[in-house]
Amino acid sequence: MLLDVKNLDISYGSKLTVSGVNIQLDKGEILSIVGESGSGKTTVIRAVMGCLPGRGHVSGGSITFGGRDMLKNTREDWRKISGSEMSMIFQDSGNMINPIRRIGEQFTDYILAHAPQKSKAEAAEMAKDMLNKVRLPNPQNIMNSYPFELSGGMRQRVGIAMAMIFSPKLLLADEPTSALDVTTQAQIIRQIVDVRNEYNAAVILVTHNIGVASYVSNKLIVMKNGHVVESGGREIIENPQHAYTKELLAAVPVLGDKKYYER
């Protein structure tokens, strides 16, 4: 088991906001956490990544990754793990990139921070190779560009490239398509599946779109108000038990005579 989360409780100060979350994930599996805004989806993956903001902290349960107790990590332990063993794609990678520095400068600095033994030229070649792998045209041109010169979909691909540069075992994707048009959303989702296929990485996808989640995932968790209301595999889509899951499925658009999630 790559990731084993048991009875996870998360609090901000003394207020319990997420309760009783369980996740079991192995290499090559894709888990989607689905729910409306405020349901606790992002809070869960931030806890797994060790980057809860402000007064957020794990107040109960356990997080085990690769056989290690992640709640015992020091700040230095997290620095070594983040980016190399687990990485995150944010909701809008454009907002996570310095707007006044070229993509290439930031990408090479990121590589050198994790692999100081590399030369700047080696880091630049690694960056261009990964940009090519995520199907960005003319990687050198991307390296020379500022973030505002790229479309939203291109910035997300840059985010995926940076997240995957060290072939992490676990990729956490926090609403990576919510700010994009429908066509670009589909491209980014396919890109995440390609990443899983090429690197055998496990993926946790946070999304409010149960149609997208059901299309790509081996496992699903449905959350509402900080609680898991339903979890499992394909049976959640084919035979939902909870009223909230049924509401989410009813909201999925129909294309022709099929729902979006139907294969």
Rg of the chain, C-alpha, whole Å: 19
Residue extents of the structural domains in the chain: 1-86+181-189+208-263, 89-167
Q: Is the pTM value of this prediction over 0.85?
A: yes
Direct distance between the N- and C-terminal alpha carbons of the chain, in angstroms, rounded to an integer: 28
Tell me what the mean pLDDT of segment 50-69 comes to. 95
> Mean pLDDT of all residues in the chain?
89
What CATH fold (topology level) applies to the domain 1-86+181-189+208-263?
Rossmann fold (3.40.50)
Contact call for residues 26 and 33 (beta carbons, < 8 A)? no
Q: What tens digit of pLDDT does each residue of 172-181 get?
A: 999 887 777 7
DSSP bridge partners of 202: 170
